[in-house]
Structure 1
Amino acid sequence: MARNGFTLVELLVVIAIIGVLIALLLPAVQQAREAARRMQCSNNLKQIGLALHNYHDTFGSFPSGYVDISGRTEVVDNKGHWSWAALTLPFMEMGNVHDLLNVGPASPSNVLDTQQAVMQSRYAAFRCPSDIGPDFSSTTECAGCCIQNGGSTELGHSLSNYLGINSSALARADQATNFNDGTTGATGIFYRNSDTRLRDITDGSSNTVMVGERCYRINTTDYLAGELFATRDYNGGGPAHRDRGGMADQGASRILVTTYHSPNKIWEHADSYPKWEESGLSSLHPGGVQVCFADGSVRFLSETTASNASGTTDTIMEFLGSMSDGNVIGEY
């Protein structure tokens, strides 16, 4: 009596069919996962926008981009200064973290001595699910991203993928003297000791980006996200060969971001290295980034959104980053 079974040819055909099905289904599965991650990222930005508005309702203005705790124009070298995100923690249902860090009365550098684990943890509310970067900044990859503790030891601290909008050109500590020229200072909502009110956003809250994404790395290009709790101010920034000394306030670029370039653009100069004070919006979402506008709405900005590096506010990206330039924004 003949035995039932597969021939070798039949087995190979079945394997080939399974392989084809996997090849067809895998991209769909990956797209579905990315769609879920993008939705979670959008929700994170919505919660941040809501928290910023609740802060505004409570204190009459949005939080400062960062607070110069030294009380002087030139801050203490390598020491930390609390960021807008640290000030917003109680409105993000993270009041316990705010209290542990003693945000305000204590300096970030001294808090690193007693709460290093808290300052180096990963906080999902400030991380895009698509980004696979580390929990906290690296002393080897980006020494300028770190701050000193009370014992003058350089330490990294928690990273964030969501940075406040500072300028339409170079990252600056102080406000612009000309909102149509981002090289004169910060044209955006956040800068050092800022106290921006909704009525100051004369271009309209629905036309002004307030918070945007920056990822840790795309392929071999380092963006290194941003610091969550604090910045080093003048002596901060990326690796030494990526800073342009005297051109901008380096540390502002570690917790704030500009709209100088289109999303995901590799910004390079003569030495072929990106410059940190020009570090723009970036993400691992295909085709662009997500941003939160000053009215709290979250939208997707395409990486083809028009920009240039002239410094003069004359492109859509620059219009979006400046809160009072008087320009009319068309379709983008």
Structure 2
Amino acid sequence: MVKKLTAAIVALTMAFPTLADVLQIRKDAPKEYVVEKGDTLWDISAIYLDQPWLWPELWRLNPQIDNPHLIYPGDKLSLVYDSQGRPMLVINQKFKKLSPGVRKTMKKGDAIPTLPLEVIRPFLTFEQALDKEDIDTRPVVLGANSNVKNIKTDHIIYVKGDLERSQFYGIYRQGDPYIDPETEEVLGHEAILVGTGRAFRTGDEANAVPASVRVKNSKREVRQGDFLMPALEGQTLPAFFMMKRPETDISGTIIDTSSKLREFSTMDVVVLNRGEKDSIKAGHVLDIRRASPTVVVGKDGPKYKDAASRYERTMSYFGDGEDSREWNMPKEKVGELMVFKVYDKVSYAIVTKTLEPVRVGDTIHVDN
């Protein structure tokens, strides 16, 4: 069904239009489409547009639909054009008259969203990006009720810090720093979720009395030195994402991935060296680009820089004229991603589309 939907809304435009441009509908887009349970506005937009994030342009022109979020399973949508040739989706009123029971059985909660959290939840990780100063203020695991280095489910751990009784906590381990490849600035540290637990003694740090926590589940062994945070802190995400292009130009780099693999693909989570201070927001859709291989031209003709000798690379760097030059090739699009969690200097995104495997070091880009 998603493939079918993707064929029907992905045709809004092949490029970002100016205000004077007309949205370009896909050649294979249907003239009519009946909304099915499980559809999202993003899916439907992808059926009609090559760039689904332009869906507001397709629905905003619709005089029948003040709020395009309130489209229900069973609604029949028709693709029409206004007097200026602009495409829009409208609810087919004739179809509604033939099917009077459809709307009556639907409740407000059944309206379809843009992209529901549940679609991507199975692929999301619980890692966070925290400042070292923040991590240093968190309650710390001192040890367990038995002399073990690796603590598992049902163990009791003792914590340096004042905890709230009956509160659930996430148990984290400080990971590698996120470093900006452009400035070498430390943007934050990875906080890796290793387990969860529930506090049953509050503790008194001033008198060296530890808090007590029973480990409820563990993704990895809990260790001395791990730290605790309230279970939901930093994990709250919107029920659905309003996927759209940023309103300002943005460029940056993929600096890490949750899988730690060299190459990754659709539905993998990546880390970007851009965040709230760069006007990044949850739901932003960005292009992933990669620089084509650099070519050096010498007396023996063009060669890829990696295949050229040190002498040829040196001469191309210091050479003059057309006989010895280094050519920096353009960056080409290799995929798309959507931001879902934003911090001050770092954000997490999920890869939504790939033309070829994505890599750490690929760039993100949006031109307006």
**TM-score for both structures, normalised by structure 2:** 0.21
Could you say which structure has the larger radius of gyration?
2
Return the structure number with greater relative CO, CA threshold 8 A, min gap 6: 1
Higher helix share: 1
Higher strand share: 2
